[in-house]
Chain A
Amino acid sequence: MSESISNITAQLSHIIFGKEQQIKLAVCSLICRGHLLIEDLPGMGKTTLSHGLADVLGLSYQRVQFTSDLLPADVIGSAIFNNIEHKFSFHKGPIFSQVLLADEINRASPKTQSALLEAMEERQVTVDGVSHELPEPFFVIATQNPLHQAGTHPLPESQLDRFFMRISLGYPSEEAERKLILGIKQHTSVAVKQVVNKEDLILLQKQAAEVKLSPAVVNYILALVRYTRESGKFSDPLSPRASIALGNAAKAWALMDGRNYATQDDVQAVFTSIAAHRLNIPCHSQDITISDILSEVAIPL
């Protein structure tokens, strides 16, 4: 099992240099069937990573560039009158793919954002009273510019909560950047081979669900969540959905590490990407805030 995972991460490392942790987190999110939000400045490789993820899993993917004039129908699809049959037929939008790349999601109007996020949670789309199942697996990988940039509509907290993880790539190391300059081609996803198929992914998801979550680890998750609620330092404390996500992510992380049991280390490893966006902590300060939380909460043994 860990073989297929290491294959995935190895493949992705070909296109994103020196970001193993972020790649692992992204894969972890997919194993947990969670949607991923990648937040970073333009030109940091957000789109490359999301392309790579879709390719390496061998999933059908569509990309939608979100703009301020994008309408919900542009994402979901719309009923179009068929002149020949004299009736309306549903024209599926780009959302009907296994991986949807929602590029610069915070440039779209809130209306469009909501339409997408609803689909994310329900995993189905309802148009004109008819429900349309979305394909399985279904991931949304959204990218987002930092909110201080012009022309952005911040996602509301309720919708941020639907993203399983938020990761931020950050600047590459000097060595990695040198490689980029020297022209090793990385903008094409051709370099990425499909290493797992749909069945492998489903197997991975099943295995992740079977990872043992010991009471000590559950207690640790509870302690962390309770801390965000009771310390009074956070205006938007973690929801039960976040606690569930923490447990699942810790399990997936343990699986990726080749273990069938999760530890508190796993919780700590995924905590930043699970919790930071839910606590409304901006990317640039998340490391300090999260490490504060981790150093405040004692480890239950």
Chain B
Amino acid sequence: MSINALLITLCYLLLTLLPIAKFGTPFNTLMVLLALWHGLLIVKKQTGVRNSILNGIAIIGMAITVVSIGLHSTVSIFVALLLLACQLKVLQAKTTSQWRQILVLNFFTLPCIFLFSQSLYIALLVMIMLGLNLSFMLQLQKVGSFKAVSRFVFSKMILSCVLSIFLLLFLPKLPAFWQLPGPQLAKTGLSENVSPFSIAQLSQSDELAFRAVFASERLQQSQAPLYWRAIIHNKFDGKQWTIANFQKAAADLQKNIQSEPYTVIAEPSNTPWLYALDLATSPTTDVQSNPYGTLYRTNKLSSTFEYIVEPANDDIITNISGWQYRINTALPKNVNPKAQNLAKQWGQSSNTTAQFISLMRRYFQDQGFSYTLTPQVATSEHMIDQFLFEYKSGFCGHYASTAAMMMRSAGIPARLISGYLGAEYNQEQGYYSVYQYDAHAWVEYFVPNEGWKRIDPTAWVSPQRLLGSLSQYQPLANEFQSNLGISLAAWSGFPAINWLRLQLEQIDYQWTRWVLNFDQQKQSSLLKSLFGDNAKQLSGIIVIILLCIIFCALFFYAQYKKVIKEPLVIRLYRQLIALSQDDLSHTPPKKAIVILQQQFAQDTSALAQFYADFAANRYQGKTFGKDQSEHAKKLINSIKTKSKRKI
């Protein structure tokens, strides 16, 4: 068991160190140390650490867990504590029953990682771990060598995969009975609060944000930059942009009939906000659109989420009410006085909003502003002043919040939008992938009688940024890659690696599309295409009937195999004694026949004849031929009909 024990420890260690859960360095270190200790114990051939030591480690470990993860992410804490507890239990385990506890618990512990990621690779990993776990369980029962046992287990697992695919496709999907609150997943992604001036290094991640699938070719080939709106920040307190509470109010937007709907598959995120181009509505349940045309989901889930976006008419909001105007021009007093003065100057010297924008644009272009992913952190209270007149370099957040603030100073309603810019198009499958490093911020301003317009002040400084995804943006390639760290996206310059990345990406897309997001809607449409209307009920019935048939068939096959081994004469004898009112299975044949003779007096001689044949066959090894069997069958039938008549 000792080597197996170490493998279990390695499973825990792997789950801990996987970059998806993020338990933090102190916890990871603790787990590594425990694993090393376990390895040392095995080398020394010692088993079973004393309880007092383990209790001490457990208390220290709990403290380390809390320090390492913090109290904000309950799910991560509990998963970490579970892993720690299991690891300590492994160290403690001595007896078979203790091992059995651990192995049974592992069926819960190992899949816990699904809370953090449900990708194909994690699924495969967990499958393998569960297979190992099952093998250990079998080996614990001393069924066979580990190799033989694991071959058995994995062949059975492949069979069960086939069965689960069948069940996934055809068993009607029910809504979940209860749901866990998702763990705090996205290390990157959009936030409801934007404060670009306090960020020293824009952390980039090649994690997927969402994918979009368009039905028509037209949109796929469009050259215009794709601005995926997600969050509207309409409050600015001088440091950060936040959202107003009333944003999560559902509104009925008019669907634009001319534009085609498209599908978005969103990865888990910490905010309820979803992604869409321009103003949008959605027919998907649990997805609402607010008066500003952004989508949000009403329940927060940790799994990937697929929804349909229907572009909305953008001509409906051509005027805003007084309070809306006040909100979108509100600025904290006495902050950024220099910038405010500059904006007011521009406002006085320009008659229209367009003139104001061109003044602002000229300022940015003339003053040598530059785009960087590693800006200087603002030290002053007047951050925008510092940016505008001192640093003069920053990323999208800097430009967007500065522009919005300047417009507000001049009395133009403006708001900051965060979302994603660009997308990577997959030729073969025809979908767009948007990554976290595509995150972007821009400005929307209001023109009376025309509605909200979009400007992207970042584009004034680095127009290339608009052309596509940030990964294709050459001038910043080095900066971009160094910020990414080790990932395949960082190596996309090499054709082979890029090809590999795209292939993996495709597999992941299919997995997400067809396994993780195979929901009730998709199932019912699949079933409808297969069975027509009433498909759901029909498929449920078919599946249940099919399963019943399969199990019955297996059952009867097993029975038949048992029965077929018995010679005809025994089967006939069994049929015969089954006719009696009494249970004759514990009565020797001769006595049983006597009892039958008493019960069916008319067949006495035939019964005697049958017994003679039976005895000749069973005890003397003579053949039980056709004549005898026909005689016996006749006898059985005659008794049957007579006893029926009696009833």
- Seen from chain A, the residues whose Cβ lies within 8 Å of a Cβ on chain B are 212, 214, 216-217, 220, 260-265, 267-268, 294-299, 301
Residues of A within 8 A of B591 (CB): 265, 268
B63 to chain A, nearest CB (A): 53
CA distance A223 to B566 in the complex (A): 18
Asked if A299 and B586 sit within 8 Å, CB to CB, the answer is yes
Asked if B588 and A216 sit within 8 Å, CB to CB, the answer is no
Residues of A within 8 A of B573 (CB): 301
**CB-defined interface of B574-610 with A at 8 Å, one 1/0 digit per residue?**
1000000000011111110000000000000000000
Q: A265-B588, A298-B586, A299-B586 are in contact. Are A216 and B566 (CB under 8 A)?
A: no
Asked if A262 and B589 sit within 8 Å, CB to CB, the answer is no
Which of B25-33, B497-505, B526-534, B615-623 forms contacts with chain A? Answer: B615-623
Asked if A299 and B619 sit within 8 Å, CB to CB, the answer is no
Q: A301-B566, A301-B570 are in contact. Are A263 and B586 (CB under 8 A)?
A: no
Asked if B588 and A212 sit within 8 Å, CB to CB, the answer is no
Asked if A212 and B619 sit within 8 Å, CB to CB, the answer is yes
Residues of B within 8 A of A217 (CB): 619
Top 7 A-B pairs ranked by shortest CB distance? Answer: A264-B588, A261-B619, A265-B588, A265-B590, A214-B619, A301-B570, A261-B620
Residues of A within 8 A of B590 (CB): 263-265
Asked if B620 and A212 sit within 8 Å, CB to CB, the answer is yes
Residues of B within 8 A of A297 (CB): 586
CA distance A147 to B590 in the complex (A): 37
Asked if B586 and A301 sit within 8 Å, CB to CB, the answer is no
Asked if A299 and B620 sit within 8 Å, CB to CB, the answer is no
Q: A261-B615, A263-B615, A265-B591 are in contact. Are A295 and B621 (CB under 8 A)?
A: no
Residues of B within 8 A of A264 (CB): 588-590
Residues of B within 8 A of A296 (CB): 586
Of chain A, the residue at the smallest CB distance from B570 is A301
Asked if B619 and A268 sit within 8 Å, CB to CB, the answer is no
Residues of B within 8 A of A294 (CB): 586
Of chain A, the residue at the smallest CB distance from B583 is A295
A174 to chain B, nearest CB (A): 27
Most chain B CB neighbours (cut-off 10 Å) among A216, A264, A301 = A301
B595 to chain A, nearest CB (A): 12
Residues 534-587 of B at the A interface (beta carbon under 8 Å): 566, 570, 573-574, 585-587
B562 to chain A, nearest CB (A): 13
CA distance A267 to B619 in the complex (A): 13
Q: Is the interface of B mostly helix, strand, loop or mixed?
A: helix
A261 to chain B, nearest CB (A): 4
Of chain A, the residue at the smallest CB distance from B619 is A261
Q: A261-B620, A265-B591 are in contact. Are A299 and B585 (CB under 8 A)?
A: yes
Interface contacts beyond A263-B588, A264-B588, A301-B618: sample of 5 additional A-B pairs, CB < 8 Å, sorted by A: A214-B618, A262-B619, A263-B589, A296-B586, A299-B586
Residues of A within 8 A of B585 (CB): 298-299
**CB-defined interface of B336-348 with A at 8 Å, one 1/0 digit per residue?**
0000000000000
Residues of B within 8 A of A299 (CB): 585-589
> What range describes how many residues of B lie at the interface?
10 to 19
CA distance A212 to B618 in the complex (A): 11
CA distance A263 to B245 in the complex (A): 92
CA distance A264 to B585 in the complex (A): 12
CA distance A262 to B618 in the complex (A): 10
Between-chain CB contacts (< 8 Å), 5 pairs: A212-B619, A264-B590, A267-B588, A294-B586, A298-B586
Of chain A, the residue at the smallest CB distance from B588 is A264
B624 to chain A, nearest CB (A): 12
CA distance A260 to B588 in the complex (A): 18
B608 to chain A, nearest CB (A): 14
Residues of B within 8 A of A263 (CB): 588-590, 615, 619
B587 to chain A, nearest CB (A): 7
Most chain B CB neighbours (cut-off 10 Å) among A267, A268, A298, A299 = A299
CA distance A224 to B589 in the complex (A): 16
CA distance A131 to B433 in the complex (A): 103
Most chain A CB neighbours (cut-off 10 Å) among B570, B585, B586 = B586
Residues of A within 8 A of B574 (CB): 301
A294 to chain B, nearest CB (A): 7
A177 to chain B, nearest CB (A): 30
Residues of A within 8 A of B615 (CB): 261, 263
CA distance A261 to B616 in the complex (A): 9
CA distance A217 to B590 in the complex (A): 13
CA distance A267 to B590 in the complex (A): 12
A40 to chain B, nearest CB (A): 27
Residues of A within 8 A of B620 (CB): 212, 214, 260-261
B607 to chain A, nearest CB (A): 15
Residues of B within 8 A of A295 (CB): 586
Most chain B CB neighbours (cut-off 10 Å) among A214, A217, A295 = A214
CA distance A260 to B544 in the complex (A): 56
**CB-defined interface of B143-181 with A at 8 Å, one 1/0 digit per residue?**
000000000000000000000000000000000000000
A263 to chain B, nearest CB (A): 6
Residues of B within 8 A of A261 (CB): 615, 619-620
Residues of B within 8 A of A267 (CB): 588
B590 to chain A, nearest CB (A): 4
CA distance A262 to B619 in the complex (A): 7
CA distance A297 to B588 in the complex (A): 11
A266 to chain B, nearest CB (A): 8
Asked if B586 and A216 sit within 8 Å, CB to CB, the answer is no
Residues of B within 8 A of A301 (CB): 566, 570, 573-574, 589, 618
B615 to chain A, nearest CB (A): 7
B87 to chain A, nearest CB (A): 42
CA distance A295 to B589 in the complex (A): 14
Residues of B within 8 A of A220 (CB): 588
Residues of A within 8 A of B586 (CB): 294-299
Q: Select which of A216, A260, A268, A298 is within 8 A of B618 by beta carbon.
A: A216
Residues of A within 8 A of B619 (CB): 212, 214, 216-217, 261-263
CA distance A265 to B574 in the complex (A): 17
CA distance A124 to B209 in the complex (A): 98
A299 to chain B, nearest CB (A): 6
CA distance A54 to B573 in the complex (A): 43
B57 to chain A, nearest CB (A): 45
CA distance A301 to B621 in the complex (A): 13
Of chain A, the residue at the smallest CB distance from B574 is A301
CA distance A1 to B570 in the complex (A): 31
B417 to chain A, nearest CB (A): 79
CA distance A296 to B585 in the complex (A): 10
CA distance A97 to B478 in the complex (A): 116
CA distance A248 to B610 in the complex (A): 27
